């Protein structure tokens, strides 16, 4: 057996909060846990949880010891040893996903065992134990991620876009993994030989030491890790939320906490656009800012705590002419729901630059607010890409705090739709330099953008500038193409709701009720739209969260109709 450290606990912790990661329950707390489950004896060597088991039980050690190990092939890595008063589990215990580890008794003793439902009931009804367990589960997951202790190994290359995609998928789903870089690890060839993989099939993902996936899609990875297995796809849900960004997660938290049976469908990972923000500084309650990843991770765990489920799946169609409504997903499965909440957000139009996503939040931004303006000093030059109103506003705003703003537009001038006042301001600002017929062709840098090359399409001339900040303001498209004409949209493809729906819209969708649509309700009763995908919405985290929460009160009303 390989021990990760020589400390009695095994895992070398990144946090000093050991008493929060491995808390000892008091006798009174143990009695409350015992009241929910059963007490049983264990013998040395008895495996209580096997790696890969689903919806695993929760154990509190009363006497004896339970060790937690990560098996890999024939060897094991010791993660920790739970003594009396300590308990097993990390965030997979809430989601019912497969266990990353093996739990085994090492001494004769007694444990309290709670099944998955009993454990969920405990965290939802006992506030004190709920706090202790939730905090420990989240902190343990953080430690597993930091130590790369998971049930998968990724073998890839830093120069491969697919490797980056898979890393992002795993990271944003909070799934720990070990990474082997082909360029750095020379012994890796023997590992590849063991699994008969040629270098052309990179990146490779090995699940639980058994299944080998060659350059897998996100969907294949989700299947292999069993992300979706714990979700019953045949049940008719009270509410299906489509999109796991801030608005969808808020709806899931409020809906599930108010007793609704909620299922969230998400194409890739919880967090949406906000999940890609390195620091959100304007969200209420976080004076020092919070990374989008942290906010999304916490919201996701919160939704799970209240019993919401998430399916990693892309919604491909809404069948809205029958009730319950049916949502078809990429795999072909059909999910039924009494009410539906569309929270699919928008996709910013992006220039086709190979390494653009690498610099998002680290030199490439899609909004220019005071937050971004604080990222650089008066001596810096910045670029605004786009010729519409949002680009014009950004250029005028940034010109006040920087040395020079290059405004790059593909066409021969500023968009015809740009307001006159903005055009005048741009013309009157000596430090805004308009470059027409110009497109960015390359970005370079390390952890942060450092250098930009742009090209004039008429002359073919390429210029190189040491610029660290680019604002891409070329508009955003709503993620509504999959609705296929089912729901009334505005002329830009955003979903119309409540008072924005015209009499013609309601006639076209055969609105069947005497009442008018609720605020946030679409042209179909019980189908709501919230967040960035909704016509007229404010494109902010706080407003998305607000709309997701408000919609739940209307969902209750519709369910009683």
Ligand X SMILES: Cc1cc2nc3c(=O)[nH]c(=O)nc-3n(C[C@H](O)[C@H](O)[C@H](O)COP(=O)(O)OP(=O)(O)OC[C@H]3O[C@@H](n4cnc5c(N)ncnc54)[C@H](O)[C@@H]3O)c2cc1C
Stretch of 5-13, 109-117, 238-246, 414-422 contacting ligand X, by CB under 6 A: 238-246
Q: Whole-number minimum distance, CB 356 to ligand X, in Å?
A: 11
The rounded distance, in Å, linking the Cα atoms of 526 and 509 is 13
> Which is nearer to ligand X, 479 or 505 (by Cβ)?
479
Nearer of residues 141 and 314 to ligand X, judged by Cβ: 314
Q: Report how far apart the first and last C-alpha atoms of the chain are (Å, whole number).
A: 61
Map residue 480 onto helix, strand or coil: coil
Identify the sign of the CA torsion 188, 192, 198, 204. Answer: negative
Q: Residue 267 interacts with ligand X (CB under 6 A)?
A: yes
Q: How far is the CB of 225 from ligand X (least distance, A)?
A: 18
Helix count (H) and strand count (E) of the chain?
15, 29
The single residue among 68, 170, 242, 326 that binds ligand X, judged by CB under 6 A, is 242
Q: What is the DSSP letter of 290?
A: B
Residue written as token pair 């969230």? 264
Among 407, 541, 551, 558, binds ligand X (CB under 6 A): 541
> Look-up: residue for tokens 């049916």?
326
Furthest CA-CA distance within the chain: 82
Residue 74 Cβ, how far from ligand X at the closest point, in Å?
Answer: 39
The span of 251-259, 260-268, 351-359, 406-414 binding ligand X (CB under 6 A) equals 260-268
Binding-site string for ligand X from residue 476 to residue 515, where x marks contact by CB under 6 A and - marks none: ---x--x---------------------------------
Q: Is 247 an interacting residue with respect to ligand X (CB under 6 A)?
A: yes
51 neighbors 92 (Cβ within 8 angstroms): no
Which CB sits closer to ligand X, 188 or 362? 362
Which neighbouring-strand residues pair with 71?
76
d(CA 314, CA 284): 30
414 touches 387 (CB < 8 A): yes
Counting contacts by CB under 6 A, is residue 99 touching ligand X? no
Exposure string for 183-201, b = 16+ CB within 10 A, e = fewer: eeeeebeeebeeeebeeee
Q: Is 129 or 242 the residue whose CB approaches ligand X more closely?
A: 242
**Distance from C-alpha of 492 to C-alpha of 481, rounded to nearest angstrom:** 11
Between 9 and 496, CB nearer to ligand X = 496
Kindly state the smallest distance separating residue 20's Cβ from ligand X, in Å. Answer: 29
Q: What is the DSSP string of 405-421?
A: EEEE-SSSSS-TTS-HH
Residue 11, CB-side half-sphere exposure with 13 Å CA sphere: 28
Q: Does 315 bind ligand X (CB under 6 A)?
A: yes
Q: Sheet containing 462-465: which strands, arranged edge to edge?
A: 438-445, 449-456, 462-465
Contact with ligand X (CB under 6 A): which of 223, 238, 360, 381?
A: 360
CB of 267 to ligand X, least distance (A): 4
Total residues binding ligand X (CB under 6 A): 38
CB 392 within 8 A of CB 401: no
Q: How many CB atoms lie within 10 A of CB 335?
A: 25
Closest CA to 254 of 530, 518, 483: 530
Identify the residue among 89, 174, 345, 386 touching ligand X (CB under 6 A).
345
Give least dist CB 222 to ligand X, A.
12
Footprint (CB under 6 A) of ligand X, residues 166-185: none
- Which stretch in 160-168, 207-215, 259-267, 414-422 sits in contact with ligand X by CB under 6 A? 259-267
From candidates 29, 92, 277, 293, binder to ligand X by CB under 6 A: 277
Asked if 344 touches ligand X (CB under 6 A), the answer is yes
443 to 482: interface string for ligand X, x by CB under 6 A: ------------------------------------x--x
**Percent of the chain that is helix, strand, coil (3-state, to 5):** 30, 25, 45
Q: Is 291 near ligand X (CB under 6 A)?
A: no
Range in contact with ligand X (rule: CB under 6 A) among 61-69, 175-183, 209-217, 539-547? 539-547
Q: Is residue 228 near ligand X by the rule CB under 6 A?
A: no
Of 129 and 384, CB closest to ligand X: 384
- Rounded to whole angstroms, how far apart are CA atoms 240 and 262? 6
544 binds ligand X (CB under 6 A): yes
The only residue of 77, 95, 99, 273 in contact with ligand X, by rule CB under 6 A: 273
Part in contact with ligand X (CB under 6 A); list of ranges 101-109, 197-205, 273-281, 394-402:
273-281
Please state the closest distance from residue 231 (CB atom) to ligand X, in A: 14
Give dist(CA 412, CA 137) in Å, integer: 56
- Minimum CB–partner distance for residue 308 and ligand X (Å): 15
Among the candidate windows 73-81, 166-174, 195-203, 240-248, which touches ligand X by CB under 6 A?
240-248
For residue 126, give both structure tokens.
Answer: 């006992």
CA dist 561 and 553 (Å) reads: 13
Q: Which positions lie near ligand X, rule CB under 6 A?
A: 242-248, 265-268, 272-274, 276-277, 280, 282, 314-315, 343-346, 360-361, 366-367, 371, 479, 482, 531-532, 539-542, 544
């Amino acid at each position: 057996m390989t021990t990760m450290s020589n400390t009695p606990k095994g895992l070398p912790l990144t946090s000093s909060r050991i008493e929060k990661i491995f808390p000892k329950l008091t006798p009174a707390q143990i009695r409350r846990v015992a009241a929910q489950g059963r007490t049983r004896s264990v013998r040395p060597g008895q495996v209580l949880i096997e790696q890969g088991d689903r919806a695993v039980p929760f154990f509190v050690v009363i006497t004896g010891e339970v060790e937690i190990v990560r098996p890999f092939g024939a060897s094991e890595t010791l993660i920790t040893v739970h003594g009396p008063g300590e308990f097993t589990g990390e965030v997979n215990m809430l989601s019912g996903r497969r266990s990353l580890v093996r739990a085994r008794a090492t001494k004769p003793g007694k444990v309290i065992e709670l099944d998955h439902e009993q454990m969920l009931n405990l965290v939802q009804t006992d506030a004190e134990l709920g706090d202790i367990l939730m905090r420990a589960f989240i902190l343990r997951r953080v430690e597993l991620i930091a130590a790369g202790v998971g049930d998968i190994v990724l073998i890839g290359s830093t120069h491969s876009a697919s490797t980056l995609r898979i890393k992002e998928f795993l990271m944003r789903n909070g799934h720990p993994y070990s990474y082997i870089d082909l360029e750095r690890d020379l012994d890796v060839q023997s590992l590849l030989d063991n699994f008969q993989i040629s270098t052309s099939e990179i990146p490779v993902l090995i699940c639980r030491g058994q299944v080998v996936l060659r350059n897998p899609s996100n969907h294949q990875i989700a299947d292999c890790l069993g992300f979706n297995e714990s979700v019953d796809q045949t049940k008719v849900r009270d509410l299906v939320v489509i999109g796991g960004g801030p608005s969808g997660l808020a709806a899931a938290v409020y809906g599930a906490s108010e007793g609704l049976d909620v299922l969230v469908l998400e194409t890739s990972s919880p967090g949406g656009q906000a999940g890609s923000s390195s620091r959100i500084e304007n969200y209420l309650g976080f004076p020092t800012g919070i990374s989008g990843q942290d906010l999304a991770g916490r919201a996701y765990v919160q939704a799970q705590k209240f019993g919401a489920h998430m399916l990693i799946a892309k919604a491909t169609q809404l069948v809205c002419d029958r009730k319950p409504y049916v949502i078809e997903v990429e795999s072909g499965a059909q999910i039924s729901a009494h009410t539906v909440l569309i929270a699919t957000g928008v996709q910013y139009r992006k220039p086709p630059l190979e390494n653009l996503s690498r610099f998002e939040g680290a030199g490439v931004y899609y909004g220019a607010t005071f937050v971004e303006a604080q990222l650089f000093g008066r001596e810096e030059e910045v670029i605004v890409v786009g010729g519409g109103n949002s680009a014009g506003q950004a250029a005028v705003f940034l010109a006040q705090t920087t040395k020079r703003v290059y405004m790059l537009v593909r066409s021969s001038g500023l968009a015809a739709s740009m307001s006159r006042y903005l055009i005048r301001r741009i013309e009157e600002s000596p430090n805004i330099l308009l470059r027409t017929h110009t497109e960015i062709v390359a970005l370079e840098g390390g952890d942060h953008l450092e250098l930009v090359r742009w090209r004039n399409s008429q002359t073919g001339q390429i210029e190189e500038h040491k610029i660290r900040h680019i604002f891409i303001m070329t508009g955003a498209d709503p993620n509504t193409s999959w609705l296929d004409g089912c729901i009334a949209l505005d002329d830009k493809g955003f979903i119309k709701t409540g008072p924005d729906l015209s009499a013609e819209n309601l006639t076209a969708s055969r609105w069947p009720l005497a009442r008018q649509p609720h605020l946030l309700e679409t042209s179909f009763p019980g189908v709501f739209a919230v967040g960035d995908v909704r016509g007229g919405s404010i494109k902010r985290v706080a407003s998305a969260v607000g709309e997701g929460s408000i919609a739940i009160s209307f969902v209750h009303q519709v369910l009683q109709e």
